[in-house]
Amino acid sequence: MTHPSTLKYDNLQIRIEGQAPETLHVWFDGEIHENFKSQLIALPSAHSYVFNLSGLRSINSLGIREWSHFLLSLTQKSHVTLEECSVVFIDQANIVPQIIANSKVISFFAPYYCPQCNIELNCKLSIANHRKKLSERRAPQIIHSCGAELQFDALEESYFFNIDKLVGEK
């Protein structure tokens, strides 16, 4: 079966690309709230999945519970990679690490601020490129396009609290 295809729910859109049973690339855009029912998420079965969470705008406690069940059961039979996890998702992962289940995070967004341009922006951090800095719970240095060094715009020890689970090294 060839994709792309799109599954639409109230406040969540799931776009699937790829050819099952090979790797499927899946984008989650919207919100994961109480109406996220894991048994209703009809993903074609595949050996591995790459979930892109850059469009995940909001996730609440009931959504977290369903999402955790969904991901845990999926990771029991397939390999799941999470890429471009949104700030909202990382904030929750710091409180409820179960939302990562047995998946592997390869990149995520983190909040920065440019003192020269006076703007807030979320920068994508790749685990592979920043493993050492991240495992020390320190924000990697990023230079803005204007030439100024960006300031990290959260508490490093909070935002990278569960980073051990993300970088995959104990």
Shortest Å, Cβ 139 to Zn ion: 16
10 C-beta neighbours (distance < 10 Å), count: 10
What letter represents residue 120's amino acid? Answer: E
Shortest Å, Cβ 148 to Zn ion: 5
Greatest Cα pair distance in the chain: 50
**Cα–Cα nearest to 158, from 112, 106, 90:** 90
The SS3 assignment for 16 reads: strand
Shortest Å, Cβ 151 to Zn ion: 10
Kindly tell me which of 62 and 117 has the beta carbon lying closer to Zn ion: 117
Kindly tell me which of 95 and 146 has the beta carbon lying closer to Zn ion: 146
CB-CB contact of 123 with 148 (8 Å): no
Question: Interface residues with Zn ion (CB under 5 A)?
Answer: 114, 116-117, 144, 146, 148
